[in-house]
C-alpha cells in the first residue's frame, strides 16, 4: 500500500482576516469549548473576577462555605445564567460559555491524568496583566504550538530549554509540550483548544488566554502569574517571562501584517517540528466544516417551514383546507 508523503498545509490567510469566518469560528469552536480560568487560589470571597471569551462576559464569585475558609466557586454569565464548570482534584477551574459545549471529559479526554501530577494551588497568585495586539488569535496560537522560532526569537529561553529537543504531543483538543522528551518531568507546558495555555516550571506558573475580538486582526492577551517567591526573586522571574511574551507579541504583529497584505497566503508545515500547529489547525478546520454543515441543514429546514406556512396561508385565502389539514393517504406499494 502506498504511503502518502504530502506535507500538512496551513490554513489560508483569509482565515486570519475574515470577519464572517470569525463568526463561523465563534459558533463552531469558541461556543463549544472549555476555558481555563485559573487555579482556585486566584479567587477570594468578596473579590469577583471578570472574563470575556468570544463576546461572552462572565464573572467568577467565591463564597465561603465553612469556618475553615473553604470557598465555593460559581461562574455566571452577565445575563444571569449559571455556567457549567469543572474543578480538577488539583485545583484548576474550567468553564464553558455556552450550552452547546460537550462535557469536560468528552472535550478534554485524558487530561485529568496529566493534571493530577501537579498541585496547582501550591504557588501563590502574584500578578495579572492584559493588553491588545494587532494579530488574529490563531497567529498567537501558531507561535505557541511550535518552537522553530525559539532559537532566534527567544535567546534567553533557549538557554534553559534548547529547541533542538522540543516536542509536542497532541491529544484531541489539548497538547502537551516537552522541552526535552527524555525529561518529561522537567516542567509542564499545556495548550487547551482554542486559546488557553498553562506553563509550570521551577517555582513559577503562568497562564495566558488568547481572546479574539470582533475584529479578526485584533486579539486581547491576558496573563496570570503565580510563584513561590515574592519580592526581588519574583520580579526576576516576571522580567524573564515578560521578555518572552513581548518577543512573541512583536513576532505575531509582523506575521499578521504579512497575512493582511498578501505577503503570505498559504504554505506547508514541518510534520515534525510544527506538528502541534498542524494538529490544532486541523481540529479548527474540522469543527468549522461541521458547523457549516449544521448551518446549511438549519437553513434548509427553516426554508421548508416557511414554504409550508406560505402554502397554508394561500390555501386559507382561497377558502380551502391546507394540505397540512388534509387526512394523510396511506402509502400503497405494488408488489
Predicted confidence at residue 83, as pLDDT, reads 98
What is d(CA 13, CA 142) in angstroms, rounded to the nearest whole number?
13
Q: ω into residue 194 within 30 of 0, thus cis?
A: yes
The 10 Å CB-count burial string (b at 16+, else e) for 39-59 is bbebbeeeeebebebbebebe
Please name the helix (run of DSSP H) or strand (run of DSSP E) that holds residue 279, with its range, or none.
Answer: helix 275-317
More confidently predicted of 153 and 100? 100
Predicted confidence at residue 250, as pLDDT, reads 96
CATH number of the domain located at residue range(s) 13-292 in this protein: 3.90.380
Q: Supply the pTM of this predicted model.
A: 0.87
- When pLDDT is cut at 50, 70 and 90, the band that residue 156 belongs to is low
Which DSSP state fits 9?
B
Residue 91, Ramachandran bin (φ over 0: left; ψ between -120 and 50: alpha; else beta) = left
- When pLDDT is cut at 50, 70 and 90, the band that residue 228 belongs to is very high
Could you tell me the CA-to-CA distances from 65 to 50, 74, 184, 251, 331 in Å, in that order?
21, 12, 38, 46, 64
What are the residue boundaries of the structural domains of the chain, listed by start? 13-292
Amino acid at each position: 500500500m502506498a504511503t502518502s508523503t504530502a506535507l500538512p498545509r496551513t490554513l489560508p490567510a483569509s482565515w486570519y482576516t475574515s470577519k464572517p469566518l470569525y463568526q463561523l469560528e465563534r459558533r463552531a469552536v469558541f461556543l463549544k469549548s472549555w476555558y481555563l480560568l485559573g487555579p482556585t487560589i486566584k479567587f477570594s470571597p468578596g473579590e469577583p473576577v471578570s472574563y470575556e471569551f468570544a463576546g461572552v462576559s462572565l464573572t467568577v464569585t467565591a463564597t465561603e462555605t465553612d469556618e475553615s475558609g473553604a470557598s465555593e466557586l460559581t461562574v455566571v454569565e452577565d445575563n444571569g445564567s449559571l455556567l457549567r464548570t469543572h474543578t480538577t482534584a488539583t485545583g484548576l477551574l474550567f468553564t464553558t460559555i455556552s450550552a452547546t459545549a460537550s462535557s469536560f471529559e468528552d472535550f478534554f479526554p485524558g487530561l485529568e491524568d496529566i493534571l493530577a501530577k501537579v498541585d496547582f494551588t501550591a504557588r501563590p497568585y502574584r500578578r495579572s496583566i492584559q493588553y491588545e495586539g494587532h494579530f488574529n488569535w490563531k497567529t498567537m496560537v501558531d507561535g505557541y504550538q511550535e518552537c522553530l522560532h525559539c532559537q532566534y526569537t527567544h535567546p534567553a529561553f533557549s538557554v534553559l530549554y534548547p529547541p533542538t529537543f522540543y516536542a509536542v504531543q497532541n491529544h484531541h483538543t489539548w497538547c502537551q509540550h516537552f522541552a526535552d522528551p527524555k525529561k518529561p518531568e522537567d516542567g509542564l507546558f499545556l495548550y487547551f483548544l482554542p486559546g488557553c495555555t498553562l506553563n509550570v516550571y521551577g517555582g513559577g506558573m503562568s497562564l495566558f488566554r488568547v481572546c479574539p475580538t470582533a475584529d479578526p486582526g485584533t486579539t486581547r492577551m491576558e496573563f496570570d502569574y503565580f510563584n513561590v517567591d515574592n519580592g526581588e526573586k519574583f520580579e526576576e522571574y516576571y522580567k524573564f517571562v515578560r521578555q518572552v511574551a513581548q518577543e512573541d507579541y512583536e513576532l505575531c504583529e509582523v506575521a499578521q501584517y504579512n497575512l493582511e497584505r498578501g505577503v503570505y497566503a498559504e504554505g506547508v508545515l514541518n510534520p515534525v517540528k510544527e506538528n502541534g500547529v498542524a494538529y490544532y489547525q486541523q481540529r479548527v478546520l474540522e469543527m468549522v466544516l461541521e458547523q457549516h454543515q449544521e448551518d446549511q441543514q438549519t437553513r434548509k429546514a427553516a426554508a421548508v417551514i416557511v414554504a409550508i406556512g406560505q402554502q397554508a396561508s394561500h390555501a386559507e385565502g382561497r377558502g380551502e383546507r391546507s394540505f397540512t389539514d388534509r387526512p394523510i393517504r396511506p402509502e400503497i406499494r405494488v408488489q
